[in-house]
């Protein structure tokens, strides 16, 4: 079900520069505002190194006007690097949702919440031709496990945001992530075990 109430949903997308984290946040916000007719804000943060350094995108989506654009305690935390996970896991609300890239993040059992989802997004992207689409695979997965924004709205925003020559491949990457998420939600696929640190 898509969010029907007017409350704010606070989402923190994290990883390292070069993964398209900011683009993913921009797509999520664009989908919410342009195609789902909600309010959204997006702010970004880079580490000093830019490419390869820590990077995050803070997205707030709401049925009403948003007065403060910064995410301080995310309800949903998406981690696509180990550094991002280590740095941000403590800020996730106790009842929040944790989503991570299985191949790039080793979680701690003590940090896990009731709602946790993981996907080998980078591996799926590599299988589709380039790991640069891992962010789009992750967005597709996100749309299945946390349907805050309609999937069709996200697809339109993806098409609007990537080079014309890569649209088909990016939509394929989105669908790959979404199908995997839907299969997990339905219990049709058992997710591979996440790797945990002690």
Q: Where are the alpha helices (DSSP H) in the chain?
A: 21-30, 82-88, 121-127, 134-145, 151-161, 167-186
**Does residue 194 lie in a domain region?**
no
**Does residue 106 lie in a domain region?**
yes
Strands 39-46 and 54-62: antiparallel
CATH number for the domain including 168?
3.40.920.10
Displacement of CA 43 from its chain's centroid (Å) = 14
Domain that holds residue 51: 9-187
Task: Determine the pLDDT at residue 52.
Answer: 64
Q: Which two tokens stand for residue 84?
A: 């991002």
Confidence of residue 196 (pLDDT cuts 50, 70, 90): low
pTM of the model: 0.90
**Does residue 1 lie in a domain region?**
no
**Does residue 2 lie in a domain region?**
no
**Does residue 13 lie in a domain region?**
yes
Task: Determine the pLDDT at residue 5.
Answer: 56
d(CA 124, CA 195) in angstroms, rounded, equals 17
**Does residue 168 lie in a domain region?**
yes
**Does residue 116 lie in a domain region?**
yes
Task: Determine the pLDDT at residue 187.
Answer: 83
* Domain total of the chain: 1
Q: Is the dihedral of CA 21, 36, 98, 185 positive or negative?
A: negative
Which SS3 state, helix, strand or coil, does residue 20 take? coil
- Tell me what the mean pLDDT of segment 8-33 comes to: 94
Q: What would the pLDDT profile of 43-102 be if each residue is shown by its tens digit?
A: 988 665 455 678 999 999 999 999 888 898 999 999 999 999 999 999 999 999 999 999
């Amino acid at each position: 079900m898509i969010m029907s109430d007017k409350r704010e949903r606070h989402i923190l997308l994290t990883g390292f520069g070069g993964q398209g984290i900011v683009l993913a946040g921009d797509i999520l916000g664009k989908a919410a505002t342009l195609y789902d007719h909600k309010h959204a804000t997006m702010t970004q943060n880079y580490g000093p190194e830019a490419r390869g350094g820590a990077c995050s995108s803070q997205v707030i989506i709401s049925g009403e006007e948003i007065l403060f654009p910064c995410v301080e305690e995310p309800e949903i935390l998406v981690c696509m690097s180990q550094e991002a996970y280590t740095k941000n896991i403590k800020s996730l609300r106790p009842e929040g949702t944790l989503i991570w890239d299985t191949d790039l993040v080793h979680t701690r059992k003590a940090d896990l919440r009731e709602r946790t989802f993981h996907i080998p997004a980078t591996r799926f992207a590599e299988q589709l031709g380039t790991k640069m689409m891992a962010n789009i695979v992750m967005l597709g997965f996100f749309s299945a496990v946390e349907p805050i924004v309609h999937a069709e709205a996200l697809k339109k925003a993806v098409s609007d945001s990537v080079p014309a020559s890569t649209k088909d491949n990016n939509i394929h990457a989105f669908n790959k992530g979404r199908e995997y998420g839907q299969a997990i939600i339905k219990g049709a696929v058992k997710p591979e075990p996440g790797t945990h640190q002690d």
